[in-house]
Amino acid sequence: MVLGAPLSDLSMGGCGLDVPIYATVGDRVGLLLEIPAQDRRLALLAEVVRVRDEGCGLRFVEVTDAQRKELRRCIHGAHTAS
């Protein structure tokens, strides 16, 4: 399953999506994080850890060192842009 939706939050460990999805806890999903203000894109694998009517919580899994470094840049840029 591949999701495309706005994030409710973003951290080094995972993120939240503010849209309902048809997934269950334990499902794995592919994410493509896009940070337009930084012109960055980052593909990550995540596991569904929480599902509610209004959205879900995801934990990043199998993150490489290169992905972790890029994620850190995305998070830092998102905080500076807001």
Whole-structure pTM value: 0.80
Q: First vs last Cα of the chain: how many Å apart? A: 30
Q: Which helix H or strand E contains 56, and what residues bound it?
A: strand 55-61
Q: Considering only the top CATH level, what class is 7-81?
A: mainly beta
Q: What is the DSSP string of 28-50?
A: EEEEEEEEGGGTEEEEEEEEEEE
All structural domains of the chain with their residue ranges: 7-81
Contact 22, 10 (CB under 8 A): no
pLDDT in tens, 26-71: 999 888 888 766 677 888 999 999 998 888 899 999 999 999 998 9
